[in-house]
Structure 1
Amino acid sequence: MAKNLKLWFLILFIGQYNLTYGQKPKIEFVPEDFASADYEQYTSKKKFPEEIRPQVLTALSYYPQLRDTRITFRFRKRKTPLTSRPRILHVFLPKKWRAYVITISTETTESFTPILFSKLPYDAQIGVLGHEIAHIVDYRDQTSFQLISLGFKLGNPSFTDEFEFKTDERAISFGLGFQLLHWSSFVRKSLGIVEWKGASQALETGNAPKVSQRYMNPETIKDYMAKNPIYNIK
């Protein structure tokens, strides 16, 4: 039974992954006001490609509770632009011993290429990283049983809609509203869609019809920011 649970968790939660390295995207822009020394406190137990150091550390700076959480950021060939998950066997470890992986896609199908991480504006890169890190905040507080159950639940599109929407909401509550807004606007403009339900929709249908939100659209993000006093939006 345990072996079967591990197998199903691997299939449903991790998805169609392989271990092939993609060519690392050339990301050379570093903002003039980025002071690396100010962000060194967020490097503890973190691994990431040096070419995206400013984006990663800026996104992590919004989640101080993750300072001692082990997270690896890596480039791979994937259909989905970014994914986050616990390391496979770490699902069964106590919470404080777990490590997590955020995978950044370097190569995908033609229809999905416009929104690869390397093609995003700088603020949008921070926004999408912030979304993935918000998943880890959620994973970190779940028991092993809850994480295994989550793997099964993510096979339900309605549950996934709510799951991703709440993750956007969590990222906004931690202060990443403006960056998430950049990402949301760029995705919709680049793909020519009104609402985006994720990789499967873009890959299967090309230009997607108007559907219920899975990832918040720009107007919804603005509404949530307007209700949160940390943004001081009148």
Structure 2
Amino acid sequence: MKRKLKLLFLLLIAVFLVIVILKEPKNTIPDRIKQEVKIALQYFPELKGIPIEFKFKKNIKKSVMQAQPTWSGLLKSKNKRSYVILISEKFKISGEEFKTADVPKDVLIGWIGHELGHVMDYQERGNLNLIGFGIRYVLLKEFVKKAERAADSFAVSRGMSEYILKTKRFILNHSQIDETYKTRIKQYYLSPDEIMEMVKEQDSIKNNLL
């Protein structure tokens, strides 16, 4: 009897894996943020053809948005991977909840651009490396800092500096946004000054090539 149950369990796992692998990933964008997502995606032509699902979630711990590979993506080759970007339905300012989709348009574009920066980072990693990335992100604070700054850097290098800066300033200069969240932004992400320095370096390189 135990042997039969074990075989049945293994069969169910096999069927689940087949369904996951064969499931066709799609680009899904909620109507209320469709315009902002399309603007952000224009800065990442490398992601054209990569299935990315944008999905609202009731609450995301410690974040407003979160980019991650799908389980089916981790079972496929890198060029056939798919992703989901989770977006918290609401965030709190001074104890009062506000809908994420209602923040200023440019701020929302910057937030989305940062998450697309994560996707760019993921695309450069093999499957085993990406699994290791997830483990290190959960366990190591220094790795979180490295990953978040890399995502910012990808977005800035693609020309999204103005949007990223507006997002940072919206968070850091909003007197009523929770100080814990502000501290996290200061600790793990590029600062506005560092972003401006990156832009200066990019402009310098461009001028030298002309």
> Structure 2-normalised TM-score?
0.75
Instruction: State, as a whole percentage, how many aligned pairs show the same letter.
Output: 27
Q: Equivalent of 1:50, from 19, 28, 31?
A: 31
Which whole-Å CA distance do the structure 1 matches of 2:32 and 2:74 have between them?
29
2:44 maps to what in 1?
A: 63
- Going by fraction, where is helix more abundant, 1 or 2? 2
Structure 1: 5+ residue runs without aligned partners?
1-44
Which whole-Å CA distance do the structure 2 matches of 1:62 and 1:178 have between them?
12
2:136 maps to what in 1?
A: 153
Which whole-Å CA distance do the structure 1 matches of 2:114 and 2:108 have between them?
10
Judged with a 3 Å threshold, the aligned counterparts in structure 2 of structure 1 residues 51 and 231 are, in CA distance, closer, same or farther, namely: farther
Q: How does 1:91-110 map to 2 (within 5 A)?
A: 91-108=74-91
Query: Residue deviations 1:123-175, cap 9 Å, x none?
Result: 11111101101111111221111011101111200111111112111110000
Q: Does the CA-based 8 Å contact 1:81-1:116 persist in structure 2?
A: no
Deviation at 1:115, TM superposition (A): 7.7
Which whole-Å CA distance do the structure 1 matches of 2:44 and 2:37 have between them?
11
Q: Residue type of the partner of 1:85?
A: Q
Q: Does the CA-based 8 Å contact 1:77-1:105 persist in structure 2?
A: yes
Q: Equivalent of 2:113, from 130, 136, 148?
A: 130
> Structure 1-normalised TM-score?
0.67
Q: Does the CA-based 8 Å contact 1:181-1:221 persist in structure 2?
A: yes
Judged with a 3 Å threshold, the aligned counterparts in structure 2 of structure 1 residues 86 and 214 are, in CA distance, closer, same or farther, namely: same
1:78 maps to what in 2?
A: 59
1:224 maps to what in 2?
A: 198
Which whole-Å CA distance do the structure 1 matches of 2:186 and 2:127 have between them?
31
2:161 maps to what in 1?
A: 177
CA RMSD of aligned residues (A): 2.8
The count of aligned residue pairs is 178
SS of corresponding position for 2:72:
helix
Judged with a 3 Å threshold, the aligned counterparts in structure 2 of structure 1 residues 114 and 107 are, in CA distance, closer, same or farther, namely: closer
SS of corresponding position for 2:34:
helix
Query: Residue deviations 1:179-200, cap 9 Å, x none?
Result: 000000001122568xx8xxxx
Judged with a 3 Å threshold, the aligned counterparts in structure 2 of structure 1 residues 130 and 147 are, in CA distance, closer, same or farther, namely: same
